[in-house]
Amino acid sequence: MSIFFFLMAICSFTCLSAAILLTLSRKRIAMDHRIKHYFNDIHQVESMEKIKGKKKSFRPFSRLWNRGLQLISRKTSKAKQKKLDHLIRDAGYSGRLTALEFRLIQLLISIGGGTAVFFLFAPMADSMVMTLLLAFGVFFLGFQYCTFYLSKKKTRRIARINRDMPDFFDTVNLLIEAGLGLDAAILTVCQKKKGPLSEEFLFVLEDMKRGKSRREAFYELRMTVPSDSLQSTLTTMIQADYLGVGMSKVIRNLTVRIREQRRESAREQAMKAPVKMLFPMVFFIFPSIFIVSLGPLIVKILTEGLM
């Protein structure tokens, strides 16, 4: 019986992993299939038929996945979907994952983890109530972990944007002084320098190609990226574009100000370090020192007395 539960747990983990991997890479797979369809030679028709045959084998799973998405769309409110979309975009998964897909993956991870824990511990547990509580705890942790993961990715992405800003705008300033326009300079830097800041400005350039003005595109970027340094920088660039001030001088002053803000932030973090170290020292380091230094004395007093 325990072997059966173990096999069921392995099957549930395997299905869950396959669902997550297929969801994250299905758009890339579809794009590869389109490229092969339009640009392959005539001699590769047989390979395309094999790929189509493989796609047909995934149709039952795709139907179940689409039904799951439809069910999630009915149960999730528009406000919650919008909030998840903002969180996914801030985490850097925009275009690869939607709010409904994230919610479905979140449910699959939590349900799969809780079911696997129940099947693993049910044969050897003395109390079924404790097993159910443990499975429910794993379900709750799995459900919350996905949101926590996106929040951590968002924090790291914003930190990297703040770290890349001085070098990014320094390079843009050099290209503008070399004779390029602002849009061409930003595009060149985005193509050469990879990172979240380059991705955000590529979105801005795509919006400008669709007909938006530079001020509108910069304003939307300012509203979507929760970075104080980038927001203040974009505000200055919007005002300079509106007033007709030369961008080279503005960006040069911006890079100086950004580096000063980073130095001030480093000093602020250094001033906070003693306060943050106080609690670990009081609760972990000082008790260990007292035990090592005063422990033998206390044992001697208890065994031999004060005389």
Q: Helix 2-39 vs helix 59-75: angle between axes, to the nearest 10 degrees?
A: 100
For residues 53-90, one letter each, b for 16 or more C-beta atoms within 10 angstroms of the residue's C-beta and e for the rest, the string is: eeeeeeeeeeeebeebbeebeeeeeeeebeebbebbbb
Give me the helices (H) in 122-246, please: 128-177, 182-192, 196-209, 214-224, 228-243
Q: How far apart are CA 111 and CA 280, in angstroms?
A: 36
pLDDT for 24 beyond 70: no
Tokens of residue 292, six digits: 């090592």
The pLDDT of residue 33:
53
The pLDDT of residue 39:
44
The C-alpha angle with vertex 125 and arms to 121 and 130, in degrees rounded to 5, equals: 90
Give the residue range(s) of CATH 1.20.81 domains in the chain: 162-262
How confident is residue 7, by pLDDT bands cut at 50, 70 and 90? Answer: low
Q: Say which amino acid occupies 230.
A: L
Q: How far apart are CA 224 and CA 99, in angstroms?
A: 17
208 with 220: CB under 8 angstroms? no
202-209 mean pLDDT: 87
The C-alpha angle with vertex 236 and arms to 231 and 237, in degrees rounded to 5, equals: 95
195-217 mean pLDDT: 87
The pLDDT of residue 14:
66
39-44 mean pLDDT: 43
What average pLDDT does the chain have?
A: 77
pLDDT for 209 beyond 50: yes
28-37, 101-110, 173-182, 258-267: segment of lowest average pLDDT: 28-37
Q: Say which amino acid occupies 204.
A: V
* DSSP-assigned letter for residue 285: I
The pLDDT of residue 57:
43
Q: How far apart are CA 141 and CA 203, in angstroms?
A: 34
The predicted model scores a pTM of: 0.65
The pLDDT of residue 55:
43
Tokens of residue 104, six digits: 């479905």
The pLDDT of residue 34:
54
For residue range 115-133, list pLDDT tens digits in order: 888 887 777 777 778 888 8
pLDDT for 46 beyond 50: no
Burial (CB < 10 A; 0-12, 13-18, 19+), residue 227, is buried
Q: How far apart are CA 85 and CA 90, in angstroms?
A: 9
80-102 mean pLDDT: 80
Q: How far apart are CA 125 and CA 118, in angstroms?
A: 10
For residue range 283-307, list pLDDT tens digits in order: 888 888 888 888 888 887 778 766 5
Tokens of residue 225, six digits: 């990226």
Q: Pick the residue with more confidence: 140 or 15?
A: 140
The CATH number of the structural domain formed by 162-262 is 1.20.81
